[in-house]
Amino acid sequence: MTTVQGTGTAALSVDGPILVAEHVTMRFGGLTAVDSVSFRVMPGEIVGLIGPNGAGKTTFFNCLTGLYLPTSGRVVFNGQVLPPKPRKVVQAGMARTFQNIRLFSNMTALENVMVGRYCRTSAGPFTSIIRGPKFRREERETRERAQQLLDFVGLGHTTDSLARNLPYGDQRRLEIARALATDPKLVLLDEPTAGMNPQETRQAEELIFKIRDQGLAVVVIEHDMRFIFNLCDRVLCLVQGKALIEGTPAEVQSDPRVIEAYIGTGPDDAAALESELEEGQPDA
């Protein structure tokens, strides 16, 4: 039995995988975007999801997080089959960020994080309208928690800054803070370093390690091979909607099928990608 302490106050006892996807298939008309993919995540584990463009990575994420109802297969989170309703998925303890930043640009950094926290409040419409004692207490606690999370992701100085005025890398971290505000047990990050410079990428890597050290599991979609192989405990490679290989970073980066899936069989390009994968090998 493993005890997992999330970023909130409550501990969670988990026996076995926290997330299990069983033969998930997603079809759009005659197109099969995800083809019988099985996947599991253990508590406190960082798992990478890689594959060339069009491999089905984001579609698979959408199936995991309730945005899509899989054509077949099922997703089990913390021992329960998840309904295809994003709000219910978030309340169950799964949070995600998106490939394209989705912040409330005219709200402050603090307000953006507070929005994520409201799924954990229970004040009803009436007490909220009259600003009763329960509403005031929850609003105070929500504000305090949001500030704690801004500090956690390194954005404590941005409390009153409008989201649209933040640098790109800070906006990415703000999205992660908002996801953490839901008190998740599992965080799914869709290309968290897209568009970042090397320094921002390094900061993102350190933040994900901090999140894992809080006891949360993390699943990451990313195209940056060096980032993924330095970060993850396991990596799953999707190609044309199917699982090509799953294993440790060393096993995945040494598999010739991964190289072929990304760039074909051209010898010059293959040598270049092999070099990049070797550079991404974690230090012993």
Is residue 29 within 8 A of residue 65, CB to CB? The reply is no
73-125 pLDDT, tens per residue?
999 999 899 888 888 899 899 999 988 888 999 999 999 999 988 876 666 56
Number of residues in the chain: 284
**pLDDT tens-digit series, residues 197-230:** 899 999 999 999 999 999 999 999 998 888 999 9
Contacts of 142 (CB under 8 A, 6+ apart): 114, 117, 118, 121
Q: How confident is the model over 46-56, as pLDDT tens digits?
A: 999 999 888 99
What is the distance between the terminal CA atoms of the chain, rounded to a whole angstrom?
A: 29
253 pLDDT band, cuts 50/70/90, is: confident
Residue 4 has pLDDT above 50, yes or no: no
pLDDT at 261: 81
Q: 22 pLDDT exceeds 50?
A: yes
Residue with tokens 């801004």: 150
Q: What's the number of CA atoms in the CB half-sphere (13 Å) around residue 256? A: 4
Residue 101 CB burial class (10 angstroms; 0-12, 13-18, ≥19): middle
What percentage of the chain carries pLDDT values higher than 70?
Answer: 81
Lookup: tokens for 141: 């606690």
Angle, nearest 10°, between helix axes 109-117 and 133-152? 120
- The per-residue pLDDT for 276 is 56
Contact 226, 279 (CB under 8 A): yes
Domains for the chain: give ranges and CATH numbers. Answer: 2-93+184-279 (3.40.50.300), 106-182 (no CATH)
Which pTM was predicted? 0.82
